């Protein structure tokens, strides 16, 4: 995954830096209308190195908690992937690596959505779904014909 180099090539000229020189100024945008990469902390927080570092640690810990909850939800009921991407969005408010991963993910999801809306792909997916349902119905019919329709809790010993 080479998302970082792909995104940096798209930036036509370096973004303006903030007061500490470690991120873009407020309102700076990159090519394509996307916000410039870097911290989105308020200016008064960026002004103090200690306060900015504390802010970043806090954002990291909150994002980590959200991502951890999302990972726990993957095998359990709940929107695990949605929560994980929410944690990534929290991280993306401060960290360039998370912004690049989020941009790459959005681009891939958009490409997949466009591909899914292609009439040929939709027709293929509908055909495969119909074939799969036909096989399942045929299999269930053979089972019921051979063994009868008996509910599991009505099985005699």
Closest CA to 147 of 54, 155, 84: 155
Closest CA to 52 of 91, 92, 94, 17: 94
What distance in Å separates the CA atoms of residue 82 and residue 78, rounded to the nearest whole number?
9
Residue-level pLDDT, tens digit, the chain, 157 residues: 444 444 544 543 444 444 444 444 444 555 566 667 777 777 777 788 888 888 889 989 999 999 999 999 989 888 888 899 899 889 988 888 888 988 898 899 898 888 878 888 889 989 999 999 999 999 999 989 888 887 767 766 6
Report the chain's C-alpha Rg in angstroms.
25
The whole-model pTM stands at 0.52
Q: At 134, list the tokens.
A: 């036909």
Residue boundaries of the structural domains of the chain: 3-116, 119-154
First vs last C-alpha separation in the chain: 58
CA dihedral 20, 21, 27, 31 (to 10 degrees): -160
């Amino acid at each position: 995954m080479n998302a970082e180099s792909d995104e940096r090539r798209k930036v036509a000229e370096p973004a303006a830096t903030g007061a500490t020189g470690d991120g873009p100024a407020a309102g700076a945008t990159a090519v394509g209308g996307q916000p410039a990469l870097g911290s989105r902390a308020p200016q008064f927080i960026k002004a103090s190195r200690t306060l900015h570092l504390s802010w970043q640690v806090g954002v990291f810990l909150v994002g980590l908690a959200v991502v951890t909850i999302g990972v726990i939800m993957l095998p359990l009921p709940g929107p695990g992937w949605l929560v994980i991407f929410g944690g990534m969005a929290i991280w993306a408010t401060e960290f360039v690596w998370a912004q690049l991963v989020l941009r790459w993910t959005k681009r891939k999801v958009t490409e997949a959505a466009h591909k899914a809306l292609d009439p040929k792909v939709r027709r293929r997916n509908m055909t495969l779904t119909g074939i799969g349902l036909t096989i399942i119905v045929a299999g269930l019919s053979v089972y019921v014909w051979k063994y009868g329709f008996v509910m599991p809790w009505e099985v005699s010993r």
